[in-house]
């Protein structure tokens, strides 16, 4: 094993014990990685060294005006930030640096500045308040932070709660005295990227899942590079001329991979926008002539519905690839998007624990209702409760092995996610006759009603076909006679109102679309559904509130 470059050994000291780690597979030739590796060398310095520094790397908007930085410009900013971290803020390799901000080019520069200095980047969701930042700062023992000036309040509040967070700088403010930008201006534009070991931790990504106390997932430099060599070249197949765009925050590994690591890994460019709701994303695709889009299924559905009524219709002719992840992609949403844009969605399931997508289908392999096939570099199977592989067609627990895998920071829940060398994602899946992986539900979301196993997402997909339904969530509700009944929470499209007649109509509609025993016996109309910051439906909240 290569010698660690980390002076502060906190991350290495808090890795799961070797016996609790998943098995790692490095079978592809492109996964034979060197012992020393730094993500910033691979994704940033390399292009400049190869004379490609003039290519556009990141595009942002400030006061409504677009601006772009080349690879050389992004690198110089990251270099200056690395200097500020080391000389002014006292960072030593291995220290954890909290990053807080909506997606902007400066946030990307900060990310690379931390990585170049050998620090560990800990991205946090922009909406988190001080009480939510506190457990993250404590758990990862964070000592440094770089924060968007417009989100300073909660960070200052968190600093009050966490005295170890001693060194903080703010960016994207007025750039005046005391700002990160002012300090950067006095620093040299070159910096020798710290020569980290491939298995030094580069980032800690926090996930709360849809419930519970946040877990920190540790990712080595090697994990990020391995992820760049699996799904993107084999499934997405982008080119250096692509311009990426999308909604997931860089604090979410879906966004960090899709909107920063993957485009830079091939020398492409990426548009980093602060406002990326469905209303904002469509015009942004047009404005920036974006070619590759990453967002969640509900966002594609909302954009497709908006396109149907849009006049004038935004010009989306630049767009060539659209990726859906974060939640199961209902077949009706895939069909709607294709009808609205002509584009077949690329579905992929990924997780914070595995960094990025491990089962997916390109346009040619897309099968409505199925997620896809194991991504080259990964193995996927379906296990029973005893950990035995199940035959095709039977529902069990999705299990994954590959070059990346779950490494929780000091967390007993490692033993839930990793069993027998497999990563268990918590999803119930079956493999169909074509070898396609078909999502059923989160394992703890399966509804058991009158002895039948019913997957909520299947009922949701049926309801989404009804012309009055904008969004819906289906859960099990306690019932004396049946144990549980299927209950649907429905958000109606504008112009529709809930009524007993509509409940009956939706129920009859479901009985036509899927096996009648699965129809929702209870239906409640809602203005909106509870979602996480990453856009996932919080079924547990529907269960407890409903």
Q: Which residues bind ligand 3UK (CB under 6 A)?
A: 207, 253-254, 325-329, 347-352, 356-357, 371, 425-427, 439, 442, 534
Q: Which of these, 149, 158, 152, lies nearest to 131 by C-alpha position?
A: 158
Distance CA 58, CA 118 (A): 22
CB-CB contact of 414 with 266 (8 Å): no
Would you say 60 or 350 has its CB closer to ligand 3UK? 350
Would you say 278 or 348 has its CB closer to ligand 3UK? 348
Joined together, the tokens standing for residue 337 give: 């998007």
Joined together, the tokens standing for residue 351 give: 């997780």
Q: Which of these, 443, 15, 19, lies nearest to 223 by C-alpha position?
A: 15
DSSP H helical ranges for 84-235: 105-116, 130-139, 152-161, 180-185, 221-231
CB-CB contact of 284 with 273 (8 Å): yes
CB-CB contact of 72 with 95 (8 Å): no
CB 246 → ligand 3UK: shortest distance, Å?
11
CB 215 → ligand 3UK: shortest distance, Å?
9
Would you say 285 or 296 has its CB closer to ligand 3UK? 296
CB 406 → ligand 3UK: shortest distance, Å?
10
CB 85 → ligand 3UK: shortest distance, Å?
26
Distance CA 147, CA 172 (A): 9
CB-CB contact of 89 with 171 (8 Å): no
CB 184 → ligand 3UK: shortest distance, Å?
31
CB 267 → ligand 3UK: shortest distance, Å?
22
CB 264 → ligand 3UK: shortest distance, Å?
17
DSSP H helical ranges for 189-252: 221-231
Would you say 45 or 327 has its CB closer to ligand 3UK? 327
CB 314 → ligand 3UK: shortest distance, Å?
25
Burial of 28 (0-12, 13-18, 19+ CB in 10 A): middle
Would you say 94 or 209 has its CB closer to ligand 3UK? 209
Distance CA 323, CA 189 (A): 36
Distance CA 317, CA 313 (A): 11
Would you say 287 or 367 has its CB closer to ligand 3UK? 367
Which residue's C-beta sits nearest to ligand 3UK?
350
Would you say 94 or 246 has its CB closer to ligand 3UK? 246
Would you say 328 or 529 has its CB closer to ligand 3UK? 328
């Amino acid at each position: 094993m290569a010698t660690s470059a980390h002076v502060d050994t906190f991350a290495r000291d808090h890795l799961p014990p070797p016996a609790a780690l998943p098995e790692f597979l490095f079978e592809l030739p492109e996964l034979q990685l060197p012992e020393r590796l730094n993500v910033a060398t691979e994704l940033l310095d390399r292009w400049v060294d190869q004379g490609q520094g003039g290519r556009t790397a990141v595009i942002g908007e400030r006061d409504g005006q677009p601006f772009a930085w080349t690879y050389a410009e992004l690198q110089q900013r990251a270099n200056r930030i690395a200097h500020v971290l080391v000389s002014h803020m006292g960072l030593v390799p291995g220290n954890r640096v909290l990053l807080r901000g909506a997606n902007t080019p400066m946030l990307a520069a900060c990310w690379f500045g931390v990585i170049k200095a050998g620090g560990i980047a800990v991205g946090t969701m922009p909406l988190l308040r001080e009480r939510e930042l506190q457990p993250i700062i404590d758990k990862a023992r964070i000592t440094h932070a770089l924060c968007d000036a417009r989100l300073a309040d909660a960070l200052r509040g968190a600093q009050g709660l966490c005295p170890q967070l001693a060194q903080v700088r703010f960016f994207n403010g007025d750039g005046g005295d005391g700002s990160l930008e002012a300090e950067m201006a006095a620093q040299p534009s070159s910096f020798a990227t710290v020569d980290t070991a491939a298995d030094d931790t580069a980032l800690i990504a926090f996930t709360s899942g849809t419930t519970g106390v946040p877990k920190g997932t540790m990712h080595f430099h090697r994990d990020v590079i391995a992820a760049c060599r699996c799904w993107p070249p084999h499934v997405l197949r982008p080119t250096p001329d692509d311009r990426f765009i999308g909604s997931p925050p860089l604090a979410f590994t879906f966004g960090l991979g899709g909107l920063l690591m993957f485009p830079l890994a091939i020398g492409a460019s990426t548009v980093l926008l602060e406002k990326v709701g469905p209303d904002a994303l469509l015009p942004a695709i047009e404005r920036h002539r974006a070619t590759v889009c990453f967002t969640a299924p509900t966002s594609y559905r909302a954009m497709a519905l908006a396109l149907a009524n849009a006049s004038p219709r935004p010009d989306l002719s630049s767009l060539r690839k659209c990726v859906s992840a974060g939640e199961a992609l209902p077949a009706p949403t895939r069909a709607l998007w294709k009808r609205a844009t002509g584009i077949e969605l690329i579905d992929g399931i990924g997780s914070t624990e595995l960094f990025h997508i491990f089962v997916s289908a390109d346009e040619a392999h897309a099968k409505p209702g199925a997620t896809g096939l194991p991504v080259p570099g990964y193995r996927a199977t379906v296990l029973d409760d005893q950990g035995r592989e199940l035959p095709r067609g039977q529902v069990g627990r999705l299990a994954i092995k590959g070059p990346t895998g779950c490494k929780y920071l000091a967390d007993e829940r490692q033993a839930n996610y990793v069993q027998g060398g497999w990563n268990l994602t918590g999803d119930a899946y079956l493999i169909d006759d074509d070898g396609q992986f078909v999502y059923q539900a989160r394992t703890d979301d399966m509804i058991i009603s009158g002895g039948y196993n019913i997957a909520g997402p299947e009922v949701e997909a049926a309801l989404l076909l009804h012309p009055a339904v904008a969004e819906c969530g289906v859960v099990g509700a306690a019932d004396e006679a049946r144990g549980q009944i299927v209950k649907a929470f429905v958000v109606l499209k504008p112009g529709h109102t809930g009524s007993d007649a509509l409940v009956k109509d939706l129920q009859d509609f479901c009985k036509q679309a899927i096996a009648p025993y699965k129809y929702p016996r209870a239906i409640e109309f809602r203005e909106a559904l509870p979602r996480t910051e990453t856009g996932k439906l919080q079924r547990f909240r529907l269960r407890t509130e409903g």
